[in-house]
Every structure is written in C-alpha cells, then in structure tokens.
Structure 1
Amino acid sequence: MSRRSSNQLVVPQAKAALDRMKFEVAQQFGIQLTEGYNGNITTREAGTIGGNITRTLVQLAEQQLGARR
C-alpha cells in the first residue's frame, strides 16, 4: 500500500493560510506544535485541531454564501 497522501489542495496558495490556522487553533487549546512532523500529539489533540479548523472553514463559507444572496 502506498504511503503517499491523496489530499491535494484545490488552491495551492491556501497552504500557508491553513498552516497558520492550524497553529492558531493548537495554541488556543494549549497544544504544542512544531514545524514539520508532529507525531507526538495524541489522536484527540489532532482531532481537536482538525475539527475546529473544519468548523471555522464551514462558518466562513456560510458567511460568504449568505452575503451573495
């Protein structure tokens, strides 16, 4: 089985913004992240970061869709 990630950004320029968001969310919850590999964090911590990023992105999309109407 390949270990290559199938996740690809639709807008590659968004990577920096997503990375900043990841570090901001981690800081809000007191989770220590480093640049690069963070295999030392727990699954719960990773889920907290990812879940809150998703929640924020959904809220932003809803606001943009609401503004278009």
Structure 2
Amino acid sequence: MANKPVDPNAKAALNQMKLEIANELGMENTNLNGANSTSYQNGEIGGRVGGQMSKKLVAMGEEALLRQYNSKK
C-alpha cells in the first residue's frame, strides 16, 4: 500500500487538519516545525497530533459510510 494521497489536494487538506488539531491541543503553530525542539519533544507532539488525526479521519469515514448506507434505504 502506497503512503501517498489519492487526490493531490488531500495533502493540503491533511496539513490544514494537522494545524487545526494542534491548535485544539493548545500547541503553537511556531512549534510545529520542530526546528527548536529535541527529537523526543517532536515525537511527543507528532504522536498526539497523529493520534487525533487518525481518530478524526476514522470518524469522518464512519459518517460517510452511514450516510451512504442510510441513503440506500
């Protein structure tokens, strides 16, 4: 399985989602590039943001499946 977005616009949308989740978690945008942080600190940030992104993407997929299922009834 390739680790590339199917739609080229998806990368921009995922980056926007990443920034929104970081803001929800109280992280500053200036800290997201990791240039002034240790690898351990960057791993902590990436883990929290990545985990929340996964949860949101799964929820969005479930909602889309439910809409599709309910429209067939």
Asked if these proteins are the same fold (TM beyond 0.5), I'd say yes
Q: What residue ranges of structure 2 are gaps of 5+ in the alignment?
A: none
* Alignment TM-score, normalising by the size of structure 2: 0.71
Q: Paired residue for 2:11?
A: 15
Identity of aligned residues (%): 33
Q: Does 1:57 align with 2:53?
A: no
* Alignment TM-score, normalising by the size of structure 1: 0.75
Q: What residue ranges of structure 1 are gaps of 5+ in the alignment?
A: 1-5
- State the distance in 2 between where 1:22 and 1:37 align: 12
Q: Which secondary structure does the structure 2 equivalent of 1:17 belong to?
A: helix
Larger Rg: 2
Deviation track 1:38-65 (CA, whole Å, cap 9, x = no partner) reads 3534312111000101100100000000
Superposition misfits of 4+ residues, deviation over 2 angstroms = 36-42
Greater fraction of residues in helix: 2
Amino acid at match of 2:9: Q
